[in-house]
Amino acid sequence: MEPVWNGMLTCDYERSRPASTLLEWDLYTTSLIAWPRVLLEDPTPYGRLRRPGIVDIDEPVHLRLVAALEKFLSDPDRVRDLADRTALHREQTASALDQAEQALSDRDVKAADEAIGRGTAAFLKVMSAHIVNWLLPEQQWEDLLSQVLSSRARARDCTLALATPNRTGHLLQAHRLLLEAAASIRDGRPLALAAADVSARAGTLYGAGSPAAAAMPLEDPDRAADLLRTLSASADPESELASLTGSLDRSAAVREAWETAALLAAGGRPGQLAAVRALSTALAWAADSEERRKELRHSYLSLVRRWCTAREHDATRVTTPDLLALGDGR
Amino acid sequence: MTPTPLLPLDQAHNAARVGGKAAALARLLRQGLPVPEGLVVPVGTPESAVPILVDHILAWAEGRAPYGLIARSSAVAEDGAAVSFAGMYASRFTPARSGPLHAAITEVRSSALQPTAQAYARAHGITAALGMAVVIQPALRPTASGVLAAEVLAGRCVRWRIEAVRGLAEPLVSGTQTGEVHSGLRHTAHPVQPAEQRIILMPGAPDELRLPPGEWTTITGVNQDETLAKIKTSQEGVLHLHAPTPWAADPVLSEEHRLTLLDSAVVAAAALSLERIDLEWAFTADGTLHLVQARPLTRPLHEARATGRHCEDGWTGIPAVAGTAAGPAVRIGEGTALTGAVLICGALGPEAAGALLEQPAAVVSTTGGPLSHTAIIARELGIPCVTNVKAATAIPSARLIEVNGTEGTVRPVAGIPEQRTERARLDGAAVVLQRLPTTAAHDGRAATLLLHSPAEHHPVLPTLTASAEHGTVGVLIVDEDVATPELPGFQVIRLKSLGRLLWPVDGGDVPETLVTVDPNGRVLHSRGLHD
């Protein structure tokens, strides 16, 4: 987000994501403009599109909506509801993508079109959570925890620990899949089967950039097989898996310990207690949102790219309105 | 036009009337040095005369100032042999329009009354009123600018240091960005330290200043190469541009530029009868050098502090994972073991997960925030981490650094400090948890209290079996609006300011201290039962 200029803020994905396709910019700008509706159920648009990749937001609108977000995120019941709704949007997206995948595989064009339309509509709602990267009231949370825990440093440690996702982050999750596949090969599973599984479940995540215009390396099962062959032969996937699991258990325990500390410290002051519960849920929601959004974004972009190939469209020119028009999503 | 007290800069001889800066520039002009032309509003000009002067200045600026004007302080005591007043007074860019120019002149004149300038004057024994003249010049649009400090002996610079940035020197002088550093002693030039510049400041033409952030404008580099730069913002006549990526690896100054600057320093020092000189300079797109300020260097060059943040000072970023750790800096792909080292990286992909499982001591990322994927994987693996340390790319591999993930700092260290584990004594305290661990802790605690969750994510009612394994176990209910669960064999104790406690009837005295601990046994919070 650029600083205020003439009473206006600018969100410039053209600069922050210069290699993006039109669809990628569209996903960001459309979901940005819609975040008040998706997250707060407030119909006010967050700004207007200047051109693909750039959104201008009037400062009064920004200030009002950010204040509304802060208030919203201080209510534990509303935050839990938000987390539930976000999870539902993710499930709807994943379900539509699975159906589109199946339809593409079956060469059922009509079903693929319809599922991609629905998937686009659902995924735009998932994408609205990307505002957690710069609109969360982190300073206010740290101030509150500083008061509760009587220490700025402990407040920061607590805030950071609370921003641990409930489900394993996508980087470790992808690596765990790889290690499990390598271990399964050592146990006799056929390499091709393990490679196909890794390719389908995590192939879009490996490599630089995004799968919007070109496939990521491990989308190719043969490349995944090469990697698994090396990994199963040279590494000790079982002990690495054990180490990974131990680390994840430990980070969850650290998170829970800090949450308990903050709740114990706030105990006896109902307002602070509610605010601590709310921010604890909100931080986990934000971390989960980021991790799950990345997995879904890559799956979605890969699927749309392959759909474009099947339908003889240019994957670098397709837009969200094009895709929403395919289904009931518009 | 009526006569005005305005003086052309080349006629600004009398320092008592035009201030130290203008007088020095006038002397350079008379020696044929490349100083931009200008006008001086002399010391003591009454405020009532300023509107007329503004009209004269605007008439003079017609056709001279495509990027507006700059109004610069020239105090009588400024740029002296003993005191420089560097950074004490204001300079203002302004469009060549009446209202803004008037405001800029007024602001520069009133900067003489700034408390910091007055305190500086008093500290240096200057008690007289600080007379302030104002130099008005066309704003330059430099390809590069900066500062030069040199000791001059027998017609050559024997010790020198040049700091350069693209565009205006303001970010360099204010220390917000690090310039490219050229330095040398006699015939030896030291290796050039690259700049760390993400934003380029340049005076804008009126059309450019009307463009909103995100639009592009054309800028020229030191090698007269044109490129597009994105506007971050613009204010007070100055464009703030994102530095074009293709320029990131290019030097700001060539050797030829450096030699030109050193030659000019020698001539300027002679013109001002100085042995140690401090110059501010700028190159414009046509390759012309402009000297914009010259003054005595008021401290020896070897003490001259570099502007901007340098390695010795450390770096700051965004706190991402709490904890402090130190180790040698390493990067993935260097073939160096990561265990116990500090990993310097950009945004991480899943390819890096294996490396992170080697247990580096800490992670420093050049990008991202506390919710970035790099921060999250480091958090999940319990590795202290600081993100968004843009300058981390300049940290040499193998350099020992300490990372403080709570403060968001990275700093060089001479050795690796011993790690201390603060395992506190829990004797007599009750440890508050959200769920009972599978194995009982033997850490001297008097009891375990399960924190009741109103959302019932953790149904935490203890059982007799649990109590047998874990010692005395109670339930702490801190929420007022939660009904007290029925639990046979437990009594309800109302706490003064903490809610209710379900405590075994045969549990004996309730511990007076409640604590929470992390998996290392470190106490995160402690409070009295009745606090």
Chain A contact probe: residue of B209, B234, B380 with most A CBs at under 10 A: B380
A259 interface with B at CB cutoff 8 Å: yes
Put simply, the answer to whether B371 touches A149 (Cβ < 8 Å) is no
Task: Report d(CA A204, CA A37) in Å as an integer.
Answer: 30
Task: Report d(CA B434, CA A109) in Å as an integer.
Answer: 51
> B409-447 burial string, b = 16+ CB within 10 Å, else e?
bbbbeeeeeeeeeeebebeebbbbbbebeeeebeeebbb
Ramachandran area for residue B167 (φ above 0: left; ψ -120 to 50: alpha; else beta):
left
Reading the block at residue B468, the tokens are 């047998």
Q: Looking at residue B410, what is its pLDDT?
A: 94
When comparing pLDDT for B351 and A4, which is higher? A4
Looking at every residue in chain A, the average pLDDT score rounds to: 94
pLDDT digits (tens, 9 = 90+) for B344-360: 998 888 888 888 888 89
Put simply, the answer to whether A171 touches B354 (Cβ < 8 Å) is no
Q: Put the strands of the sheet holding B318-321 in their side by side order.
A: B315-316, B409-412, B400-404, B324-330, B342-345, B362-365, B385-387, B318-321
Reading the block at residue B99, the tokens are 């209202």
Reading the block at residue B60, the tokens are 């003079």
Task: Report d(CA A314, CA A303) in Å as an integer.
Answer: 13
Nearest CB among B348, B379, B519 relative to A257 is that of B519
Put simply, the answer to whether B434 touches A202 (Cβ < 8 Å) is no
CATH architecture of the domain B1-139 equals 2-Layer Sandwich (3.30)
Reading the block at residue B391, the tokens are 């300058």
Put simply, the answer to whether A287 touches B498 (Cβ < 8 Å) is no
How, if at all, do strands B447-451 and B473-477 pair? parallel
A82 interface with B at CB cutoff 8 Å: no
Q: What pLDDT band is residue A220 in, cutting at 50, 70 and 90? A: very high
Residues 6+ apart with CB under 8 A from B297: B149, B150, B151, B274, B276, B277, B278, B304
Residues 6+ apart with CB under 8 A from A90: A126, A292, A296
Q: Looking at residue B462, what is its pLDDT?
A: 60
Task: Report d(CA B469, CA B148) in Å as an integer.
Answer: 74
Give, to the nearest 10 degrees, the angle between helix A76-105 and helix A109-127.
160
How many residues are given for chain A?
330
Task: Report d(CA B135, CA B7) in Å as an integer.
Answer: 9
Of residues B77, B174, B173, the one with CA closest to residue B122: B77
**In a 3-state reduction of DSSP, which class is residue B136?**
strand
Q: What is the pLDDT along chain B (531 residues), one digit of tens a residue?
A: 445 689 999 999 898 899 989 999 999 999 999 999 999 999 989 999 999 999 999 999 999 999 999 999 998 866 665 555 566 678 899 999 999 999 999 999 988 777 666 666 666 666 655 689 999 999 999 999 999 999 999 889 999 999 999 999 988 877 777 789 999 988 788 888 888 888 999 999 999 999 999 999 999 988 888 999 999 999 988 999 999 988 888 899 999 999 999 999 999 999 999 999 999 999 999 999 999 999 888 766 654 434 334 445 788 899 999 999 999 999 988 888 889 999 999 888 888 888 888 889 999 999 888 889 999 999 999 999 999 898 888 888 889 999 999 999 999 988 877 766 666 678 889 999 998 888 888 888 999 999 988 766 554 666 655 666 788 899 999 988 888 888 888 899 998 889 999 999 988 899 999 999 999 889 999 999 877
Of residues A53, A50, A68, A52, the one with CA closest to residue A8: A50
Of residues B431, B474, B479, B432, the one with CA closest to residue B453: B479
Query: Domain limits of chain A?
Result: 2-168+250-324
Put simply, the answer to whether B352 touches A171 (Cβ < 8 Å) is yes
Reading the block at residue B107, the tokens are 């602001």
CATH architecture of the domain B141-308 equals 2-Layer Sandwich (3.30)
Q: Which amino acid is at A103?
A: A
* DSSP string over A185-240: HHTT--HHHHHHHHHHHHGGGSSSS-TTTS--GGGSHHHHHHHHHHHHHHS-HHHH
Task: Report d(CA A204, CA A211) in Å as an integer.
Answer: 6
List chain B residues with CB under 8 Å of A158. 524
Put simply, the answer to whether B380 touches A291 (Cβ < 8 Å) is no
Is 60 exceeded by the pLDDT of residue A298? yes
pLDDT digits (tens, 9 = 90+) for A150-196: 999 999 999 999 999 999 999 999 999 999 999 999 899 999 999 99
Residues 6+ apart with CB under 8 A from B226: B218, B219, B220
Query: Domain limits of chain B?
Result: 1-139, 141-308, 312-412, 429-528
A15 interface with B at CB cutoff 8 Å: yes
How many Cα atoms are found within 13 Å in the side-chain-facing hemisphere of B351? 16
Q: Looking at residue B436, what is its pLDDT?
A: 84
Of residues A265, A238, A263, the one with CA closest to residue A183: A238
For chain A, what percent of residues have pLDDT higher than 90? Answer: 91
When comparing pLDDT for B117 and A145, which is higher? A145
Task: Report d(CA B90, CA B74) in Å as an integer.
Answer: 10
- The backbone torsions φ and ψ at residue B69, rounded to the nearest 5 degrees and listed phi first, read -125, 165
When comparing pLDDT for B436 and A99, which is higher? A99
> What is the chain A residue with the closest CA to B432?
A260
Nearest CB among B322, B375, B499 relative to A268 is that of B499
B198 interface with A at CB cutoff 8 Å: no
Q: Put the strands of the sheet holding B499-504 in their side by side order.
A: B490-495, B499-504, B473-477, B447-451, B429-433, B513-517, B523-528
Nearest CB among A50, A158, A265 relative to B214 is that of A50
Tell me, letter by letter, the H, E, C secondary structure of B331-356: CCCCCCCCCCCEEEECCCCHHHHHHH
Put simply, the answer to whether B350 touches A157 (Cβ < 8 Å) is no
Q: Looking at residue B351, what is its pLDDT?
A: 83
> What is the chain A residue with the closest CA to B368?
A133
Let me know: does B379 contact A255? Beta carbons within 8 Å: no
Can you name the residues that pair with B183 across neighbouring β-strands? B161
% helix, strand, coil for chain B, step of 5: 25, 30, 45
Put simply, the answer to whether B499 touches A170 (Cβ < 8 Å) is no
Task: Report d(CA A112, CA B307) in Å as an integer.
Answer: 60
Minimum distance, in Å, between the CA of residue A326 and any CA atom of chain B: 32
Let me know: does B326 contact B314? Beta carbons within 8 Å: no
- The backbone torsions φ and ψ at residue B86, rounded to the nearest 5 degrees and listed phi first, read -60, 130
List chain A residues with CB under 8 Å of B363. none
Chains A and B form CB pairs within 8 A to the count of 184
pLDDT digits (tens, 9 = 90+) for A38-90: 999 999 999 999 999 999 999 999 999 999 999 999 999 999 999 999 999 99
Task: Report d(CA A128, CA B368) in Å as an integer.
Answer: 18
* CATH code of the region B312-412: 3.50.30.10
Let me know: does B192 contact B181? Beta carbons within 8 Å: yes
Task: Report d(CA B137, CA B64) in Å as an integer.
Answer: 9
* DSSP string over B174-186: TTSSBPEEEEEET
Interface of B with A in 53-82 (CB under 8 A): none
Q: Looking at residue B131, what is its pLDDT?
A: 81
Task: Report d(CA A264, CA A276) in Å as an integer.
Answer: 10
Q: Looking at residue B224, what is its pLDDT?
A: 83
A80 interface with B at CB cutoff 8 Å: yes
